[in-house]
Amino acid sequence: MPSQLSDLVSKVSSKLGEVVEFEFFTETAIKQALGDSFRFYTMQMVALGTGYFEETILLDITGGVETVSVAALTPPFWKVSLIEKIITNARVPLKPYKRRYETLPLNGVGSGTSYLPTYKMRGMSIVLEPPPRDDELQTLKLDYVYIPEFPSGSTVDTFQFDEQFPDAYEVNAILRACIKLLEEKDAVAGVSDAATFRQELAALDEIFNSTIAREEIPDDIAYLGIDYSNPYE
């Protein structure tokens, strides 16, 4: 878990003091730079599908209703990582719905172990195709990605960054915040003090890029679901 915001402000201030007079920077500007920096690395981790910033929840299925809302999830839902249907002694991954021009039944087909729909997203709802026939409690397992909160210039000192942000990359975020602040100063003063920090960050970002990405997962994993493309079979 990264340090508290007030501690990170102190670390940025100390680092900046190596090259410039700290008084040039306000605490508000440092907090904003830290927020932007942590957002930068967080979004990279999310884009690479690292498994960070993911949560799991079990959702109910309602008979005759094709949608399952994710609007009230905490932390807030951003996108699907994986949806599985829980059946007897197994979890079956559901496929995204892609058959836009094929007939699907309007009423539910099967239930329990025989109901393995495809899905698509519609706003803040999961749409099951075809819709379920019966109520099923906590049989839809959703792994989803969320975007954590980031501080702004007015955020309180006790703000705590998301616990899923790896401690090892806190130094990257501190250096990137320092560079952002120095670049803003350079625009006013016309003198560059960020060169050394850029070199240091380049080496750390190379480590970040080589360690954070996981191996690609093959797309041809055997699928166990039922094909509803022809409802009369």
The residues that bridge with 90 in the sheet, in sequence order, are: 87
pLDDT recorded at residue 228: 47
What pLDDT sits at residue 88? Answer: 86
Residue 20: which pLDDT band, with cuts at 50, 70 and 90? confident
| pLDDT for residue 195 is more than 80 | yes
pTM greater than 0.75: yes
- Rounded to the nearest integer, the mean pLDDT of the chain is 85
Q: Say if residue 224's pLDDT is above 60.
A: no
Q: What residue spans define the domains of the chain? A: 5-49+150-212, 54-145
Give dist(CA 179, CA 33) in Å, integer: 9
139, pLDDT greater than 70: yes
CA distance 156 to 60: 38
* pLDDT, average across residues 118-123: 93
| Cα dihedral 16, 18, 22, 24 in deg (nearest 10) | -80
Residue in the structure block whose two tokens are 């960020």: 194
User: What does the chain come to in residues?
Assistant: 233
